[in-house]
Structure 1
Amino acid sequence: MIEVIAEILRGPVFIAGETLHCRITFTNKLTEENNSTNHNGTFEKISWASVQLHCQRYVNEQKVNLQQQQHQQISNIKSNESTTTNTDIVPLDSTALIATKGETGQTIYTSKPCVLFCDLKLQPGETQTFNYQETISTQVPPTFRGNYVKYSYKLTIGTQRVNCPTTLIRVPFRVLVIPDLDKYIRQDKAAIASSQPGTKVDNPFVCPSRTEIDSLTTALDALQILSCRTHQNVYNISNNRGRVCRLTLFKNNFKLGEDILGTIDFDHTDVPCVQYTVTLQSEENLNSNYRRKSSQLSNITSFTKQSEFCLSTFQSYLSLSIPLSCTPTFSMDLVSLRWKLHFEFVTSKISRSILPSNSDASSSTTWSTANSIEAESMTWDLPIKILPTNPYFANNVAKVSCTTVTTI
């Protein structure tokens, strides 16, 4: 019995453009059954093993019409099985690696297959370890589980013992995508080229000893640039009777795991606000060319929410956390994901009550609100952009295991 352990190093979350590292271990396990048969040291032989990355796209066929994409050259691997697991058995007569065998949906990305070995012999109790690495393309969608479309990434290891069927071992992982990362990689390459020996270094901030690109460092630098605070954004929110409040956000681009911070001022306004609610929402938009019905609307999902009573309040503070498990903003030809802050205001139709004043310090004044207030509500949406985060942080909330163990 051969035990195979596939482990993605550093965790299951990666940024597109980063290099994934995996350790694959093959062990000829000693058991009571094969101990009696292998007393003379008979070895086990594995014909071959190969590794490949791939991304599967699953669509809700009741809502998505893919006939518009039939002219494109994409793989469309279908399976008779309704469910898939991390280990699939390929028919005995198959001796080639088909990474997407047993998968449903459409394959929209595959890396080049890498052959780990051929004709591996393992003595009883012997272990062989192989290391695999592959750079994830930057031209891919992020991992996403939407109502219309889902994108799922897996690392697939195909292996076959002599006179046994081919076994596929799958390890799922998550991919985050940074917009325009290629531009920052090209800038990094130019900076490194200018720092090579024999060339004139025009930039004093470039380290001369750096000779290769660290894809993760470049990605994190790009994230810092895209999410840095440039200036405050001030919005005057009004209805047909005048200004309700003034919203101040410190920035409009946020990273996963960050807090959306801002202030809401009710001073010097025309309309008294009784209560407000702010909800962080994602909006999944399906391209109109692929809709089954023209009346299909965007799929809106709500996440964190903040609600405050603000009658006779001059200022309130906004603080909404962005879950690390969310999918950042992205746009593909089939579907796009946008983010927004959804505001709901409850305003009074009467003017703000004036508190009675009392200059006599020896006595007090009691003020109580009315038993009922004639009110109306209004909504307002503010688009924001959510970017990925450091994959080390996202590993803490990853719901997938980066290790798969099976026997062949």
Structure 2
Amino acid sequence: MTGILDGIVVADFSRVLAGPIATAGLGDLGATVIKVESADGDDTRRWGPPFVDGESSYFLSVNRNKHSVVLDLKDPGDNVLAQRLAARADVLVENFRPGVAERLGLGYDALRAGNPGLVYASVSGFGRQGEGRDLAGYDFLVQALSGLMSITGDAGGEPTKVGVAIVDVLTGLNLQAGVLAALYRRQISGAGQRVDVTLMGAALAALVNQASSWLTAGVEPLRDGNRHPSIAPYETLNAADGSIVLAVGNDAQFGRFVAALGRPELADDTRFATNPERVAHRTELVAVLESVLAEGTVEHWTGVITGAGVACGRVNTVAEAFDFASAVGMSPRAWTVRPDGTPVAQVASPLALSATPVSYRLPPPRLGEHSDPVRRWLQDDDAGGRPQLLGKEFTR
């Protein structure tokens, strides 16, 4: 079986995380991704520790299914090759600072004249217009400016970032969705288009109900630890030997939950009978629940509550999370293999497509690993833009 994007060439001029996570996803779906790097390589090649065999684990996380070619975009000869790559590509992904792509002859307006079917996808911090174009776009900064940090952390405590570069991740996934939508439209019209995604826009959209509470009701969301602002009990609760995560989504689930605890009368208590009442009396509710939970261990209660059909679990470490996913029948690990047979562990794609499954064809490339064959292809005036014309040296 071939991937749904088999035959699509992606020119990847992006670096760090948002762009690369998008292009890695397109590669998983079968696209041929050519990653253009400077002689210094993607910044994340040096982000560590940890390093594995001299390579950054960070870089390895989002650069599978790609070919690496080193081009000096300021060198006239290499710039010509970069423009030729853009002319042969179906998709171009970039996160240059605003104005840089245009100065290099790689701006959208210049490229679409010779490649009208090009889907040109750009990532920026705050857009290409206005004062935001000159602001540095870093995940940590955008977590702060977007309000995300203001609602993350304990009540009365320090604003806290999410433990992963979540804004970059969300931006990359939004970019991938935009590219796929643009490719679908191209199937109908034959024309490409520009796709723009900003870190700030992705972060604001990700605030969902918290943003809506402000926009529609004028309610300013606040930090409240692990508590949900609109649902109760939906938080961490203390058992005898640790914390459990409890997610009670409706009144029927609450009834099953308290029955499993041996306190069915709580479902009829006027303070707790409905979700709005439970939210209003959350402190009292938590006190009652934790007095019961203190009588048993995390393992005991998670088994009892889960058995009642209510979402409940322990707070896993990352290692425990992979073990748990495997234990429940998932396949959370994937592997790519280097030419010398060395395996490279990867997080499996969350996508499961029955007819065109994702594939893990290439390991994250060494810097410039494919420079020679890519340069030969770009220098060949008779070569076309389809992956099958790239030559067998592009496949393993």
Asked if Structure 1 and Structure 2 have the same fold, meaning a TM-score greater than 0.5 normalized by the shorter chain, the answer is no
TM-score (norm 1): 0.20
TM-score (norm 2): 0.20
Question: Comparing both structures, which one devotes a greater share of its residues to helix?
Answer: 2
